[in-house]
């Protein structure tokens, strides 16, 4: 393990944390961390969910105050009063959770809180011009006057990035900026990052997409359980190094489960058409047909906006198809409600766990049992004992790391929250499970566990359909890989497909 004395490196340290610790009551999120940011270089920070990455970044950008330790800016100790103060000192941050006002336009979101003043109040024209320029730099075709709520998640993340870029800061912290972006957009972002570093801007980059992060990193730092466990310059690191230091063992995402025969057709979609729920003229799912057998694992790959989420939501019953059939074990289900579909064995793990997956006012246990209340209702009343058993079983099955079923759901790390959502739907004993981006924002260890879980389910006859935006996740446990583009299936591969084949079929012009 290295120390923080940067003997490999000549670049000067612009911002550093010294022995920074942070506790929330009994929770020690950070336990005395040292962290350096070098001028004009990219420092990547790795660590599993809940390791304390975001906490450290919030401290470095003035959002929260450390419990102890100090921050050194240009060799001088500083104390940030708040994020505005840090911003004035040249530090800006892209938050992990989107922090946009949905009711405001892209322009207003970029400039809120630091308006460009003109003679007549705010100079809206100038702001708009700059916002437009930023969108061009990011190669995005987004009108600065569009309300943010009309944008897709990925586009919102672009706005978040644009806002941070617009500040002209010396130090730019990016906390999982790409979790909703597809490869092409990530590539553009990396170009922007390269431009910035040549101009002397220092970057901190956090991502759970390890391979992607390796492309731009100059230094890697690994946090584990609130403490720094490793530090190395680019030359010394590879994927194995990161994984080893992050979770202590070597994980891989597994292989398609084998040794059994697929069963009957579990889910069949025939000529399904879903009009755009936003009221636009095109169809987000366009005459799509698909069959999945019991025990089969199918991965749907596609770019942002390919219509995967809409396909999933239509299958689950949230959206309604204009035409076409959905059959579950040969039985037409298009007319059924979400609850009825769940009862017949079709469950969806939604894409946005905060918005669609979790009830924040309920405990971990209540969230886990929410979808299967009937299973522990005896007559009129629910049975406490039966519920407890069901919750305990779920926690074990999906290995949620929690202090107990009564813990607040918000006290879990992102990955564990994701597992709660998966566990909740698994508890309904589905025959077909749909997972929309199940790996979003979770660390490599959790990801591997999720895939192991799905593979096990498949062995027991569960039909699994999941979407992803990372090719490597397609090439793990899927028996079949389907590529979607603009609402249609453009290609289908077996487990033996290669990265290049998949990316080419998805409509990505330049393969990463």
Partner 1 sequence: MSDTTKPAPATRSEGFSLLKLLLEGRAFFALIVIVAVFSYLSPNYFTTSNFLIMASQVAIFGLLAIGMLLVILNGGIDLSVGSILALSGVIGGALMQGVEIDALGVILYPPVWAVVVITLVVGALVGAVNGVLVAYLKVPAFVATLGVMYVARGVALLMTNGLTYNRLAGSPDLGNTGFKWLGSERIAGVPISVLVLAFCAIVAWLVLSRTAFGRWLYASGGNERAAELSGVPVKFVKVTVYTLSGMLSAVAGLVLSSQLTSAGPTAGTTYELTAIAAVVIGGAALTGGRGTVLGTMLGAFVIGFLSAGLVITGVSSYWQTVFTGGVIVLAVLMNSIQTGKGGRKA
Tokens 């926690």 found at? 395
Distance between CA 153 and CA 165 in Å, rounded?
Answer: 18
* Residue 242 β-bridge partners: none
Told to check if 309 binds Mg ion by CB under 5 A, we report: yes
104 binds, among ligand ATP, partner 1, Mg ion, none (CB under 5 to 8 A by kind): partner 1
Told to check if 285 binds partner 1 by CB under 8 A, we report: no
Question: Three-state DSSP class for 47?
Answer: coil
Nearer Cβ to partner 1 (21/51): 51
Told to check if 404 binds partner 1 by CB under 8 A, we report: yes
Kindly give the pairing relationship between strand 219-224 and strand 227-233.
antiparallel
* DSSP summary character for residue 147: B
Kindly give the pairing relationship between strand 265-275 and strand 283-293.
antiparallel
Positions touching ligand ATP (CB under 6 A) are: 24, 27, 29, 47, 49-55, 96, 152-154, 276, 278, 282, 284, 302, 304-310, 351, 411, 413-415, 443, 469, 486-487
Calculate helix-pair angle for 384-397, 414-426, nearest 10 degrees.
120
Count of residues that interact with partner 1, criterion CB under 8 A:
104
Nearer Cβ to partner 1 (278/330): 278
Contact (CB, 8 A) for 109 and 163: yes
Nearer Cβ to partner 1 (139/327): 139
Closest of 115, 104, 166 to residue 136, by C-alpha: 166
Cβ atoms within 10 Å, residue 122: 13
Quick note: the x/- pattern for Mg ion over 45-74, rule CB under 5 A, is ---------x--------------------
Segment interacting with Mg ion (CB under 5 A) among 10-18, 336-344, 345-353, 400-408 = 345-353
Contact (CB, 8 A) for 123 and 116: yes
Segment interacting with partner 1 (CB under 8 A) among 30-38, 257-265, 380-388, 476-484 = 380-388
Question: Three-state DSSP class for 332?
Answer: strand
Nearer Cβ to partner 1 (233/445): 445
Quick note: the x/- pattern for partner 1 over 419-448, rule CB under 8 A, is -----xx--x----------------x---
227 binds, among partner 1, Mg ion, ligand ATP, none (CB under 5 to 8 A by kind): none
In angstroms, give the least distance from the CB of 306 to partner 1.
Answer: 8
Told to check if 191 binds partner 1 by CB under 8 A, we report: no
Told to check if 381 binds partner 1 by CB under 8 A, we report: yes
Told to check if 119 binds partner 1 by CB under 8 A, we report: no
H-type helices in 17-112, by residue range?
53-60, 83-88, 106-111
Supply 358's token pair.
């979790």
Distance between CA 478 and CA 481 in Å, rounded?
Answer: 6
Residue among 129, 244, 270, 318 that touches partner 1 (CB under 8 A) = 318
Residue among 176, 185, 212, 218 that touches partner 1 (CB under 8 A) = 185
Residue among 103, 264, 429, 498 that touches partner 1 (CB under 8 A) = 103
Cβ atoms within 10 Å, residue 85: 14
Quick note: the x/- pattern for partner 1 over 165-184, rule CB under 8 A, is -------------------x
Quick note: the x/- pattern for partner 1 over 443-482, rule CB under 8 A, is --x-------------------------------------
Residue among 360, 396, 456, 492 that touches partner 1 (CB under 8 A) = 360
153 binds, among Mg ion, partner 1, ligand ATP, none (CB under 5 to 8 A by kind): ligand ATP
Tokens 């037409």 found at? 332
Told to check if 96 binds Mg ion by CB under 5 A, we report: yes
Closest of 411, 494, 399, 410 to residue 450, by C-alpha: 399
Query: What are the DSSP E strand ranges found in 359-452?
Result: 377-378, 381-382, 432-435
What SS3 string covers 238-256?
CHHHHHHHHHCCCCCCCCC
Tokens 């260890």 found at? 445
Cβ atoms within 10 Å, residue 66: 24
User: Can you give the binding site for Mg ion, defined by CB under 5 A?
Assistant: 54, 96, 308-309, 351
């Amino acid at each position: 393990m290295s120390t923080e004395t940067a003997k490999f490196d000549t670049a000067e340290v612009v911002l550093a944390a010294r022995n920074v610790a942070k506790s929330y009551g009994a929770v020690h999120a950070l336990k005395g961390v040292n962290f350096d940011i070098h001028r004009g270089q990219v420092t990547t920070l790795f660590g599993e969910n809940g390791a304390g990455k975001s906490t450290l970044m919030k401290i470095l950008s003035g959002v929260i105050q450390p419990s102890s330790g100090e921050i050194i800016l240009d060799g001088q100790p500083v104390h940030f009063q708040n994020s505005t103060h840090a911003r004035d000192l040249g530090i800006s941050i892209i938050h992990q959770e989107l922090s946009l006002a949905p009711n405001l336009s892209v322009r207003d979101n970029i400039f809120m809180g630091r308006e460009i003043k003109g003679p007549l109040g705010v100079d809206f024209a100038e702001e708009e011009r700059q916002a437009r320029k930023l969108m061009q730099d990011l190669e995005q075709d987004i009108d600065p006057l569009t309300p943010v709520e009309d944008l897709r998640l990925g586009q919102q993340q672009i706005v978040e990035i644009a806002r941070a870029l617009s500040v002209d800061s010396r130090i730019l912290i990016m906390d999982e900026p790409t979790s909703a972006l597809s490869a092409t957009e990530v590539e553009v972002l990396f170009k922007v990052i390269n431009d910035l570093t040549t101009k002397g801007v220092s970057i901190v980059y956090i991502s759970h997409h390890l391979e992607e992060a390796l492309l731009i990193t100059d230094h890697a730092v690994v946090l584990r359980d609130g403490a720094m466990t490793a530090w190395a310059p680019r030359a010394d690191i590879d994927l194995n190094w990161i994984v080893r230091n992050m979770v202590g063992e070597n994980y891989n995402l597994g292989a398609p489960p084998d040794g059994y025969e697929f069963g009957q057709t579990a889910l069949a979609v025939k000529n399904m058409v879903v009009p755009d729920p936003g009221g636009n003229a095109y169809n987000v799912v366009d005459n799509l047909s698909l069959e999945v057998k019991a025990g089969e694992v199918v991965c749907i790959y596609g770019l942002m906006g390919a219509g995967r989420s809409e396909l999933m939501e239509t299958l689950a019953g949230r959206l309604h198809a204009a035409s076409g059939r959905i059959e579950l074990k040969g039985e037409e289900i298009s007319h059924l409600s979400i609850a009825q579909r769940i009862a017949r064995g079709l469950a969806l793990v939604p894409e946005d766990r905060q918005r669609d997956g979790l009830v924040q006012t309920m405990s971990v246990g209540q969230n886990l049992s929410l979808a299967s209340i009937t299973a522990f209702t005896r007559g009129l009343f629910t049975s406490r004992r039966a519920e407890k058993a069901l919750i305990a079983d779920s926690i074990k099955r999906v290995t949620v790391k929690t202090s107990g079923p009564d813990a607040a759901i918000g006290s879990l790390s992102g990955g564990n929250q994701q597992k709660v959502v998966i566990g909740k739907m698994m508890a309904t004993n589905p025959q077909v499970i749909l997972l929309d981006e199940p790996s979003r924002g979770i660390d490599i260890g959790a990801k591997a566990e999720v895939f192991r879980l799905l593979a096990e389910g498949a062995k027991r006859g569960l039909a699994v359909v999941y979407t992803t935006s990372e090719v490597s996740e397609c090439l793990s446990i899927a028996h079949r890989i389907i590529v979607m583009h603009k609402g249609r299936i453009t290609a289908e591969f077996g487990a033996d497909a290669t990265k290049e084949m998949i990316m080419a079929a998805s409509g990505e012009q330049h393969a990463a």
